[in-house]
Amino acid sequence: MRVTVFCLLWITALPAIAEIYQYTDAAGHRAYSDQPPKTAYQSIETPAPNRIQSPVPLPRETPRAAPPTSEQPYARLELSGVPEHGALRANNGSFSVQVELQPGLQAPHRLRLLLDDKPYGRASPGPGLQLVNLNRGQHRLAVQVLDGERVLQQSPDVTFTLLRTRRP
Region 66-82: mean pLDDT is 72
On whether the CB atoms of residues 21 and 41 are closer than 8 A, the answer is yes
Q: Which residues contact 120 (CB under 8 A, 6 or more apart)?
A: 112, 113, 114, 131
pLDDT above 60 for 168: no
Other CB atoms closer than 10 Å to residue 77's CB: what's the count?
23
Average pLDDT over the chain, rounded to an integer: 79
* Banded model confidence at residue 13, pLDDT cuts 50, 70, 90: low
SS3 22: strand
Other CB atoms closer than 10 Å to residue 54's CB: what's the count?
5
Taken as a whole, the chain contains a residue count of 168
Write out the residue limits of the CATH 2.60.40.10 domain(s) in the chain.
76-163
SS3 116: coil
Residue-level pLDDT at 68:
47
Which helix (H) or strand (E) segment is 78 a member of?
A: strand 76-80
On whether the CB atoms of residues 98 and 104 are closer than 8 A, the answer is no
Region 5-20: mean pLDDT is 67
* Banded model confidence at residue 16, pLDDT cuts 50, 70, 90: low
pTM for this one? Answer: 0.54
Instruction: Of 33-47, 105-119, 149-163, give the lowest mean pLDDT range.
Output: 33-47
Domain 76-163 CATH (choose: 3.30.70.141, 1.10.1740.10, 3.40.50.2300, 2.60.40.10): 2.60.40.10
